[in-house]
Homo-oligomer: A and B are copies of this chain.
Amino acid sequence: MSTKTVPLFLQEAMSHPQARVCAACEVRRTALFGALDLASLERIHAHIGSPSLPAEAVLYGRGRQGDAVYTIRSGIVRFERVSESGERRIVRVAGRGDLIGQEALLGRRYMDDAVACTPVEVCRIPATLVDHLGEAEAALLRELMRRWHQALEEAEAWSADLSTGPARRRMLKLLAVLVRHADEHGMIWLPRRDQIGDMLGIALETASRLVSQLKRDGVLELLPASRARLDPDRLDAALDEAS
C-alpha cells in the first residue's frame, strides 16, 4: 500500500525488532518521531509500547498525573470535559498521526478525558523518555511545538465553527471535520446522537432530527457500526446554502 521510507540495509542494521517496526511504521513520517533520525530511533525503541484499545475505552482521564504521550496510529479519539454543572462537553477530536497527551511532557495533569471513538491503535511514549532526549534533539522539540500549535488551532477552530449559528450548519461543519478523519474506504465515524449533542451544544433529539434530515437530503448514508458515507458535493452545497 505504501512504500517503505527506510532503505533495507538500514533496517538490517537495527538490532532491536521494535526499532524496525518503528522505522517502517506508516504514520512515522507524519508522527512526532518523524523528526528523529534512525540512530535516535534505535536508542529509544525499547520503551515504546503499541497498545490497541476498543471503542469507548478511556486512554486517560482529566486530572490524572500525565506519564506518557501517545501517537495515534489508527482510529479516532475525542477529548471530553465535564463542567461543574455536570454536563459533558466534547472539545475536539484527534485522529491518525496526531500526538495527544503532550501535557505529560511538562509533568502536568491531563487536561481532558481522552476516549476512543473507534477501535484505536496508539504508540505509547513515556514522558521521561522525551525528557532525556530533549537536551540533544532540537528538531524534536521543534516538532513538539508544532504539535502543540496544531492542537490549539484545532481547539479554536472547533469552538469557532461548531458552537455558533443554527444547529443545521453546526452539524454540517461537524461532518466537514469528520471527513478529515475518514478511513481508507472513504467512510466516516458518525458519533452517537448524544455525543453529537455534546459536540455541538444541542439536545440529542435535535441531533437525531438533523441526521434524519440529512439522510433524506441525500447528504448522508447511514451504515452499521456507527459508520456512514457522505456525498461530498451535496455536503458542500448544503454548507453553502446554510451560508
Residues of A within 8 A of B (CB): 79, 81, 83, 85, 87, 89, 91-92, 102-103, 105-106, 108, 111-112, 134-135, 138, 141-142, 144-146, 148-149, 151-153, 155-161, 163-165, 169, 201, 242-243
Across the interface, name the chain B residue whose C-beta is closest to A136: B138
Q: Tell me whether A160 and B91 are in contact (CB under 8 A).
A: yes
Task: Tell me the bound Cα distance from A91 to B153 in angstroms.
Answer: 11
How many copies of this protein are present in the complex? 2
Partner of A138, one of B103, B135, B201: B135
Partner of A156, one of B91, B138, B157: B91
Partner of A134, one of B83, B112, B138, B164: B138
Q: Tell me whether B165 and A108 are in contact (CB under 8 A).
A: no
Q: Tell me whether A89 and B160 are in contact (CB under 8 A).
A: yes
Please give, as numbers and ranges, the residues of chain B lying within 8 Å of A164 by CB-CB distance. Answer: 83, 87, 89, 163, 201
